[in-house]
Amino acid sequence: MAVPVIGVLALQGDVREHVAALAAAGADARPVRRPAELDAVDGLVIPGGESTTISKLVDIFEMREPIDKRIAGGMPVYGSCAGMIMLAAEVLDGRADQRGFAGIEMTVRRNAFGRQVDSFEAPVEIDGVAGEPFHAVFIRAPWVERVGAGVEVIGTVTGGPATDRIVAVRQGNLLATSFHPELTGDPRVHAYFVDLVRAAA
């Protein structure tokens, strides 16, 4: 597959930034809001935003079952920040009525690093991403408290008060980070996902 088609779930959050980052990494990137649009993509990004709002909008736009089916069928999905929460099997400090896709066998804590005013940047070394540590931006970010046997921890914070917190994981074709690579101008995480989508095709 020369140019994979990757959708960005465009219900809420930083959609344009992900579309631009995916395009810079060599993908045909497009917003996805409807089941028919989901059918046309090889992979999907669930962007940062507000996980409880995304959870409600997924139902309003009738996207839950189609996304569940594509995940079960092996479609690569990357979730950043709120997207990580949407991919988690268990969410701590979430609302009782919020439901995700439970694709990755992990427990995440919502808003673990604090509120908006506690946003910060820190270096993260990511397995499979060559070069210097990734300069990660954390905004009301979750962290991973537990991973199952099938989950690979690929990134932890390497400096500051959050040192050693798990902030990037992969399980099969599913990738999740608690930070926002689309805000950095560094395309390496998106390139990693584009390669994952190519390999899965």
Name 44's Cβ contacts closer than 8 Å, sequence gap at least 6: 6, 7, 8, 9, 32, 38, 67, 70, 75, 76, 77, 78
Q: CA–CA distance from 119 to each of 41, 93, 136 (Å)?
A: 32, 18, 11
Q: CA–CA distance from 34 to each of 7, 9, 112 (Å)?
A: 11, 9, 31
Which positions are catalytic?
81, 180, 182
Residue 69 CB neighbours (<10 A): 12
Compute and round to an integer the Cα radius of gyration of the chain.
15
Tokens of 96: 């009782």
Q: How far apart are CA 9 and CA 19, in angstroms?
A: 10
